[in-house]
Amino acid sequence: MSTAPVTATGAAPRTLRGARLPKWSPWAIAAGAVVVAVVLGLVADMDNPAQLGLIAAILFVLGTYGIATRVEGRRQAKDRVATSLVWVCFLLAVFPLASLLWETVRQGVKDLDFYFLSHSMGVVADTETGGGIYHAILGTLEQVGLATVVAVPVGVLTAVYLVEYGRGKLAQAVTFFVDVMTGIPSIVAGLFVLSFWILILDMGYSGFAGSLALAILMMPIVVRSTEEMLKLVPNELREASLALGVPKWRTILKVVLPTSIGGITTGIMLAVARITGETAPVLLLVWGTNFINTNPFKDPQASLPLYIYQQYANSAGYGAAYDRAWAAALTLIAIVMILNLVARGIARWKSPR
Amino acid sequence: MDTTTQNTEQPEQPGDAEQPPPTTPAPAPATAEEKRASRGATRPGDRVFLGLSRGSGIFLLVIMAAIAAFLAYRASIAISKDHGNFLTTLEWNTNVDPPVFGIAVLAFGTVVSSIIAMALAVPVAVGIALFITHYSPRKLGGTLAYVIDLLAAVPSIVYGLWGALVLVPHMEGLFGWLDKYFGWTGIFEWQQGAPRSLLTVGILLAIMILPVITNVSREVFRQVPRMHEEAALALGATRWEVIRMSVLPFGRSGVISASMLGLGRALGETMAVATVLSPTFKINASLLDPGGGTFAQNIASKFGEATDTGRDALIASGLVLFVITLLVNGAARMIIARRKEYSGANA
User: Could you tell me if residue B86 is inside a domain?
Assistant: no
| B337 closest CA partner among B18, B11, B9, B13 | B18
Beta strand spans in B89-182 (E): 92-93, 100-101
Buried-exposed string B293-328: b where 16+ CB fall within 10 A, e elsewhere? bbbbbbbbbbbeebeebbbbbbbbbbbbbbebbbeb
Q: Indicate if B63 and B125 belong to the same structural domain.
A: no
Q: Indicate if A169 and A303 belong to the same structural domain.
A: yes
Q: What is the 3-state secondary structure of B194-253?
A: CCCCHHHHHHHHHHHHHHHHHHHHHHHHHCCCHHHHHHHHHCCCCHHHHHHHHHHHHHHH
Q: Indicate if B227 and B251 belong to the same structural domain.
A: yes
Q: Indicate if B68 and B115 belong to the same structural domain.
A: no
Q: Which residues of B touch A255 (CB under 8 A)?
A: none
For residue B40, pLDDT over 90 is answered with: no
User: Could you tell me if residue A299 is inside a domain?
Assistant: yes
User: Could you tell me if residue A140 is inside a domain?
Assistant: yes
Domain of B253 in residue numbering reads as 92-346
Q: What is the pLDDT of residues B287-320, one digit of tens each?
A: 888 877 899 999 988 888 888 888 899 999 999 9
- The C-alpha of B22 sits at a distance from chain A's nearest C-alpha, in angstroms, of 6
Quote the pLDDT of residue B202. 93
How many other CB atoms are found less than 10 A from the CB of residue A351?
11
Mutate to test the interface with A, among B60, B71, B146, B297 (most CBs of A within 10 A): B60
CB pair distance less than 8 Å for A247 and B43: yes
Q: What is the pLDDT of residues A162-182, one digit of tens each?
A: 998 878 889 989 988 898 888
Q: Indicate if B271 and B198 belong to the same structural domain.
A: yes
Q: Indicate if B76 and B97 belong to the same structural domain.
A: no
User: Could you tell me if residue A63 is inside a domain?
Assistant: yes
- In a 13 Å sphere around the CA of B271, the CA atoms on its Cβ side amount to 26
Does residue A306 contact residue A152 with C-beta atoms inside 8 Å?
Answer: no
E strand or H helix that includes residue A68 = helix A49-72
User: Could you tell me if residue A11 is inside a domain?
Assistant: no
Q: Indicate if A212 and A320 belong to the same structural domain.
A: yes
Q: Indicate if A141 and A94 belong to the same structural domain.
A: no
Mutate to test the interface with B, among A195, A318, A322 (most CBs of B within 10 A): A195
Lowest mean pLDDT among A101-105, B44-48, B163-167: B44-48
Q: Which residues of B touch A216 (CB under 8 A)?
A: 63, 67
Could you please report the per-residue DSSP string of B48-105?
A: HHHHHHHHHHHHHHHHHHHHHHHHHHHHHHHHHH-SS-TTT---EE-SSSS-EE-SHH
For residue A28, pLDDT over 60 is answered with: yes
Q: Which residues of A touch B151 (CB under 8 A)?
A: 97
Q: Indicate if A67 and A146 belong to the same structural domain.
A: no
Q: Indicate if B122 and B49 belong to the same structural domain.
A: no
Q: Indicate if B67 and B133 belong to the same structural domain.
A: no
Q: Indicate if B209 and B289 belong to the same structural domain.
A: yes
Q: Indicate if B77 and B118 belong to the same structural domain.
A: no
Quote the pLDDT of residue A14. 58
User: Could you tell me if residue A247 is inside a domain?
Assistant: yes
For residue B270, pLDDT over 70 is answered with: yes
Higher pLDDT pick, A328 / B336:
A328
Q: What is the pLDDT of residues A265-304, one digit of tens each?
A: 988 998 999 899 999 999 988 888 888 888 888 888 999 9
Q: Which residues of B touch A87 (CB under 8 A)?
A: 131, 135
Question: Residue B186's domain is classified under what CATH number?
Answer: 1.10.3720.10
Q: Which residues of A touch B150 (CB under 8 A)?
A: 337, 340
Q: How far apart are CA B242 and CA B9, in angstroms?
A: 43
For residue B138, pLDDT over 90 is answered with: no
Most confident listed range (A42-56, A118-132, B33-47): A118-132
Comparing CB atoms, the residue among B66, B130, B243 nearest residue A196 is B66
- The C-alpha of B96 sits at a distance from chain A's nearest C-alpha, in angstroms, of 20
Mean pLDDT of all residues in A81-90: 85
Q: How far apart are CA A323 and CA B161, in angstroms?
A: 11
User: Could you tell me if residue B13 is inside a domain?
Assistant: no
CB pair distance less than 8 Å for B151 and A308: no
User: Could you tell me if residue A297 is inside a domain?
Assistant: yes
CB pair distance less than 8 Å for B60 and A219: yes
Backbone phi, then psi, for A263, in 5-degree steps?
Answer: -65, -40
CB pair distance less than 8 Å for B318 and A179: no
Q: Indicate if A341 and A239 belong to the same structural domain.
A: yes
Mean pLDDT of all residues in A59-64: 85
Q: What is the pLDDT of residues A101-150, one digit of tens each?
A: 999 999 999 888 888 888 888 888 777 888 889 999 999 999 999 999 99
E strand or H helix that includes residue A136 = helix A134-160
Q: How far apart are CA A288 and CA A306, in angstroms?
A: 7
Domain of A31 in residue numbering reads as 25-108
Q: Indicate if A155 and A90 belong to the same structural domain.
A: no
- In a 13 Å sphere around the CA of B121, the CA atoms on its Cβ side amount to 33
Q: Indicate if A205 and A303 belong to the same structural domain.
A: yes
Confidence bin at A152 (pLDDT 50/70/90):
very high
Comparing CB atoms, the residue among B149, B240, B333 nearest residue A180 is B333
pTM: 0.85
Higher pLDDT pick, A81 / B16:
A81
Confidence bin at B67 (pLDDT 50/70/90):
very high
Quote the pLDDT of residue B95. 80
Higher pLDDT pick, B339 / B7:
B339
- Return the bridge partners of A110, or none: none
- The C-alpha of B165 sits at a distance from chain A's nearest C-alpha, in angstroms, of 9
Confidence bin at B96 (pLDDT 50/70/90):
confident
Mean pLDDT of all residues in A78-104: 86
User: Could you tell me if residue B6 is inside a domain?
Assistant: no
Comparing CB atoms, the residue among A96, A240, A249 nearest residue B5 is A240
Q: Indicate if B173 and B265 belong to the same structural domain.
A: yes
Quote the pLDDT of residue A11. 52
* N- to C-terminal Cα separation, chain B: 32
DSSP category for residue B154: S
Of A65, A91, A108, which closes a domain? A108
User: Could you tell me if residue B2 is inside a domain?
Assistant: no
For residue B19, pLDDT over 50 is answered with: no
Confidence bin at B17 (pLDDT 50/70/90):
very low
Q: Dihedral of the CA atoms A46, A51, A55, A61 (nearest 10)? A: 170
User: Could you tell me if residue B30 is inside a domain?
Assistant: no
Mean pLDDT of all residues in B27-35: 48
Mean pLDDT of all residues in B128-135: 89
Q: How far apart are CA B185 and CA A133, in angstroms?
A: 48
| B315 closest CA partner among A112, A191, A132 | A191
Lowest mean pLDDT among A29-38, B38-47, B49-58: B38-47
For residue B20, pLDDT over 50 is answered with: no
| Count of domains for chain B | 2
- Return the bridge partners of B100, or none: B93
Quote the pLDDT of residue A7. 47
Q: Indicate if A278 and A141 belong to the same structural domain.
A: yes
User: Could you tell me if residue A48 is inside a domain?
Assistant: yes
Q: Indicate if B285 and B148 belong to the same structural domain.
A: yes
Confidence bin at B59 (pLDDT 50/70/90):
very high
Q: How far apart are CA A267 and CA B110, in angstroms?
A: 31
Q: How far apart are CA B178 and CA B189, in angstroms?
A: 8
For residue B64, pLDDT over 80 is answered with: yes
Higher pLDDT pick, B89 / A152:
A152
Q: Which residues of A touch B70 (CB under 8 A)?
A: 192, 195-196, 200
How big is chain B, counted in residues? 347
Q: Indicate if B44 and B157 belong to the same structural domain.
A: no
As a whole number, the mean pLDDT across chain B is 81
Q: Which residues of B touch A337 (CB under 8 A)?
A: 150, 153
| Count of domains for chain A | 2
Query: What CA–CA distances, in Å, run from B167 to A134, A205, A336, B124, B196?
Result: 29, 34, 23, 19, 10
How many other CB atoms are found less than 10 A from the CB of residue B267?
23
Quote the pLDDT of residue A16. 65
User: Could you tell me if residue A8 is inside a domain?
Assistant: no
Q: What is the pLDDT of residues A187-231, one digit of tens each?
A: 999 999 998 888 888 888 899 999 999 999 999 999 999 998 898
Question: Residue A248's domain is classified under what CATH number?
Answer: 1.10.3720.10
Q: How far apart are CA B311 and CA A191, in angstroms?
A: 9
Quote the pLDDT of residue A304. 93
Of A108, A123, A148, which closes a domain? A108
As a whole number, the mean pLDDT across chain A is 85
